[in-house]
Amino acid sequence: MKSKQSEAAFNASLAARLQPEGASPGATSKMHMNDAPVGSSKSLDALLKDFDTVPFSSNASTANVTSTASVNESLAENGSSPIRRLPVQNLVDSPWQPRLKYDETAIQALGETLKARGQDEPIRVRPLANGKFELISGHRRTRAARLIGWAELNAIVSAVDDREAHKSTLLSNETSEGLSDFERALSYKALLDEGFAQTQQEVARLAGCTQGRISQCLSMLKLPRVIIDMLDTYPGLITYRHARVLQELLLKYPDGALAISTTLEMMIDKPEIEPGELKELIGKACERKRPKRQAAPTRIVEDKNGRSAFKVHSTANQIIINVVPGVDVDLSCKRTIAALRAFAETIEVPEDKKS
Amino acid sequence: MPRKPFKVQAVATLLGISVDAVRRDSEEAGLQIERQPGDGPKTRLFSIENIYDIAAFRAKKYNLVAKNKRIITVYAPKGGVGKTTQTSNLAAIFALMGLKVLVADLDFQANLTISYGYDPELTREEATENGFPLATCVDFHLGHLLPQWQGNSPTPKLSDVIKKPFGENGPHLIPSEVTLDRLEALFTVDAIMSKKPELAIARFLAEGRSGRNKDVDLSMYDVIMFDAPPAKNQTTRGALLASDFVIAPVSMEKYSTKSVSYLAGVLNEMEVEYGKFPELTILGNFFDMTRVRVAAQVIALTKQYPDAWLDTQISSSEEFKKVLSDDEGMPLALARPSSTAAKELRDVAKSLIKKMEIL
C-alpha cells in the first residue's frame, strides 16, 4: 500500500529542498569568515592614556635603557671597542629565550634582508666562561646568518650577570617579533616570577604594551595541563581568543580537556580555524563524548594506603592511563607492558583480512 | 550654487513632523522664508539652510541632548558597496534630527565632497574666471590638520578647513582633494620610524573633543563620521581605531560578504594590539530579500555576525543614480525626500541612532 507522506515529513523535505538553494552558493559552507571581536573595547581616552604616557613602543622600553647603560659601564671599565665581530659558531642561545619555535620562512626572509642590506644593528651577547658568547638579543639574526652562510656578526659584548641577561633577553625587541600569545604569556610570567615586575601593569610598561594584553596572554596559562603540553610543542597553535573560548567550554564541560585536545590537534593542519568555529567543533565533540563517558567511567587504581595512583579510562580502541605525580612513570609503563604481554600470550588477534 | 527650493510638505517629510509644525516652528524661530514670486498663491519656499535652521531650533526647543557622542567610520574593504552614498546621506539625516554632525572625507577621490556640491579640482583662479563662488573650491583636507603634515605648510585653523554645505546647522564637512593621498606616505614614514601613525587621528579627535585647542575645537559635535576609501591603509586604520562604530555597507553578493570578514580580521588585530576597536555594524545595501542570492548572503552574515547585522536595509534604487546625474549638490535623502530610498535611509538612520545609543 502506498502510504501518504505525513505533514511533518513533507515540511522536512521542504527544508531539505530549500537548503541547497538558500545556502549553497558558497556562502555559508565553504567560504572562511573571520569572527568579529567579542570583548569590550576601551575608550578613546583610555587608548591614548596607554600609549601617550607609557613608553611609545618597545624600542624605548625601560629595560633597554638600563641595560644599554650597563653596557656602557662595562665598556668604560675594560675600554674595548663597542662593537666586535664575533664568529657565528661561538654564539649560543640564551636559556631564557621565551621563543619555542622559529618560523623558517621568517628566518629565510630575514636572511634575505641581511644579504641585501647588511646588518643594521649589532646583536647583543655576554661572554661565557667557556669562551663562547650567550645571546641576549639576536637569536633570529644568528639563525638567519647561519642560513645564508655568514661567518661573523657585529655584536655588542657586555658582561652582565644572569639576572640582567635574563631580563634583557625577555624584553629584547627582536624577542617579541612574531611571538605567539602563548610564548608571550611564558615570558610575561617569567618577568613576574623572577621579580622583574611586581604587577601586570609593570609588565605592560616593560614590554611596551597594554595591561589588557598582558592579562589576555597570561590567562592562557590557566588552561589544563594536557593543552599546555600541546602548546609547548606548538606554541602558535591557538591565540588568546581561542584560549578564551576553551576556558568557556571547560566551564560547561569540566571533563572536556581530552576532547578539546583531540579537536585542537586538527588545528595543527588547519591553523585558520576561528574561535567561533572551534567552539562549535569542540561543543559537538564534547556532546558526543558525554554518553560514552558514562558507559565507561574512569577507574581509579589505588596504592596500598588507598591514595589514587593511576586513573584509567578506555575508549573504543584505546586505554588511557593517567599517572598521578609522584608515581614512577617509567616503572609503571614497564609493569603495564609486562602485564599486557602476559595477557597477549593468552589471546589470538584475528588475522588481517587484507594480507 | 543655486539649489532647488523646498515646499512645506517636503520640509515636513524631511524633518519627520507635520506641515503645521513646520509653519509654527519656522515662525517661532523668526526665519525669513522666501515666498513664491508672481501672481499665484504665495507658497513658502524653504532653502536647505532654512530646513537645517528649523531642525536646530527644534533641537533647542525640545532640549535635545545626545546621550553619547559617537565617532563612526563607514568602511568596507570592497569598492562600490555604497560607502560614500551612505555616509553622505546619513550625515545629512543625522543633522536633520537636530544633531551636530561633522563628516570627514578620507578618500582622495573626494566623492563625498563632490556629493555636497564642491569641486575639489577647481582652482581659485578658475572659479573667479567662471564666476563660481570661491567656497566651491577645496583648499584644505584632514591631512592639513595633523602634525604629520607640518613642515609642508602652516597648519590651518579648523574653521578654515571646514565646509558648511547646508549652512551653520547642517552637517559640517572636512573635505578632500587629490593631495590627501600624500598623508598616507607621511604615515608610512612614521610607521617605519615606529611612531604609531594609526594613533594620529585618535589624538586629533581626543584633543579636538577636549576643547583645549581653540583653533581645533570639536567639542560641539555629537556625531563625527569618516568616509573611508576602500583600502586597507594607515589612514583607514587610524579612523577605525579612533571610532566607536564601523558601519560596513554590504552589496549582498559574495565578494562584499567576504570583505566583512577581512574587516573583522582588522578589528581582531586592533583588539590584540590596542584593546580598542570599533563595534561592527553591517548595513545591507542593494537589498532585495526576494532574491535567493541576497537571502544566502544574509544567512551567511547573520550566522557569523549576529549582533552586527542592522535590521533595516537600503534597497536597490535607480533614484541614487538619478540624483547623481541631476547634479544638485545634495545627497538623495535631501534632494528626493518622498522617494522610497529616502524613506529607507531615514529608517536606517533611526535604527543606527538607537543601536549606537546616541539619543
Q: What is the pLDDT of residues A27-63, one digit of tens each?
A: 444 678 888 888 788 888 888 887 765 443 333 333 3
Q: Is residue A193 part of a domain?
A: yes
Q: Which one of A172, A189, A216 terminates a domain?
A: A172
Name chain A contacts of B239, Cβ cutoff 8 Å. none
The DSSP H or E segment spanning B241 is helix B234-242
Output the pLDDT for position B206.
94
Q: In this complex, do B300 and A33 lie within 8 Å of one another by their Cβ atoms?
A: yes
A163 and A185 part of one domain:
no
Report, as an integer, the average pLDDT of A124-134: 89
A215 and A117 part of one domain:
no
Collect all residues with Cβ–Cβ distance below 8 Å to A168 and sequence separation of at least 6: A63, A64, A67, A124, A136, A137, A160
pLDDT tens, position by position, A163-181: 888 888 888 765 667 788 9
A164 and A203 part of one domain:
no
Output the pLDDT for position A28.
45
Burial track B127-143 (b if 16+ CB lie within 10 A, e otherwise)? beeeeeeeebbbbbbbb
CATH of the domain at A138: 3.90.1530.30
CATH of the domain at A251: 1.10.10.2830
Q: Is residue A298 part of a domain?
A: no
Beta strands in chain B (DSSP E): 34-35, 44-45, 70-74, 101-105, 172-174, 223-227, 245-250, 279-284
A97 and A139 part of one domain:
yes
Name chain A contacts of B241, Cβ cutoff 8 Å. 47
A117 and A210 part of one domain:
no
Full DSSP string of A273-329? --HHHHHHHHHHHHHHHHHHHHHSPPEEEE-TTS-EEEEEEEETTEEEEEEPTTS-H
Distance CA B146, CA B183 (A): 9
Collect all residues with Cβ–Cβ distance below 8 Å to A186 and sequence separation of at least 6: A98, A100, A221
Contact B78, B201 (CB under 8 A): no
Query: What's the pLDDT band for A100 if we cut at 50, 70, 90?
Result: confident
Output the pLDDT for position A24.
44
Q: Tell me the average pLDDT of chain B.
A: 91
A186 and A168 part of one domain:
no
For chain A, how many structural domains are there in total?
A: 2
| Cβ atoms within 10 Å, residue B166 | 26
Nearest Cα residue to B47 out of B29, B60, B31, B25 = B31
Nearest Cα residue to A174 out of A134, A122, A132, A218 = A122
Query: Averaging pLDDT over each range in A143-147, A195-199, A262-266, B238-242, which range is the top one?
Result: B238-242
Q: In this complex, do B275 and A41 lie within 8 Å of one another by their Cβ atoms?
A: yes
State yes or no: pLDDT of A118 exceeds 60: yes
Q: Is residue A134 part of a domain?
A: yes
Name chain A contacts of B272, Cβ cutoff 8 Å. 213, 216, 239-240
Q: In this complex, do A33 and B262 lie within 8 Å of one another by their Cβ atoms?
A: no
Give the nearest chain A residue to B258 (CA atoms).
Answer: A33
Contact B67, B188 (CB under 8 A): no
Give the nearest chain A residue to B265 (CA atoms).
Answer: A34
Output the pLDDT for position A30.
65
Q: Is residue A306 part of a domain?
A: no
A186 and A132 part of one domain:
no
Pairing type for strands A318-323 and A308-315 reads: antiparallel
Contact B331, B114 (CB under 8 A): no
**Alpha-helix residue ranges (DSSP H) falling in chain A:** 7-23, 44-53, 62-78, 104-117, 139-147, 162-171, 173-176, 181-193, 200-207, 211-218, 225-233, 240-252, 257-269, 275-295, 329-344
Q: Is residue A249 part of a domain?
A: yes
The question of ipTM being above 0.90 is answered as no
Q: Is residue A108 part of a domain?
A: yes
pLDDT tens, position by position, A59-76: 333 333 334 434 444 444
Per-residue pLDDT of chain B (359 residues; tens, 9 = 90+): 568 899 999 999 999 999 999 999 999 999 988 888 887 788 889 999 999 999 999 999 999 999 999 999 999 999 889 999 999 999 999 999 999 999 999 999 999 999 999 999 888 888 889 888 888 899 999 999 998 887 667 789 999 999 999 999 999 999 999 999 889 988 988 888 778 899 999 999 999 999 888 889 999 999 999 999 998 899 999 999 999 999 999 998 888 899 999 999 999 989 888 889 999 999 999 888 778 788 888 888 988 898 999 989 999 888 888 888 776 789 999 999 999 999 999 999 999 999 999 99
Q: Which one of A268, A289, A310 terminates a domain?
A: A289
Distance CA A17, CA B350 (A): 37
Residue in the structure block whose three cell numbers are 569568515: A33
Backbone angles phi, psi at B163, to 5 degrees: -105, 145
Distance CA B237, CA A238 (A): 25
Name residue A85's beta-bridge partners.
A154
Name chain B contacts of A39, Cβ cutoff 8 Å. 271
A127 and A193 part of one domain:
no
Report, as an integer, the average pLDDT of A308-323: 85
Give the range of the structural domain holding residue A158, as residue numbers without chain letter.
83-172
A109 and A163 part of one domain:
yes
Torsion sign across C-alpha atoms B198, B200, B201, B203: positive
Q: Which one of A141, A172, A203 terminates a domain?
A: A172
Residue in the structure block whose three cell numbers are 579640482: B121
A109 and A192 part of one domain:
no
Question: Which residue type is seen at A33?
Answer: M
The C-alpha of A181 sits at a distance from chain B's nearest C-alpha, in angstroms, of 10
pLDDT tens, position by position, A150-165: 888 999 888 888 888 8
Contact A71, A127 (CB under 8 A): no
Q: Is residue A140 part of a domain?
A: yes
A208 and A245 part of one domain:
yes
Rounded alpha-carbon distances, angstroms, from residue B172 to A86, B101, B133, B319, B350 = 62, 6, 18, 24, 20
What number of C-beta contacts closer than 8 Å exist between A and B? 114
Q: Is residue A147 part of a domain?
A: yes
A163 and A197 part of one domain:
no
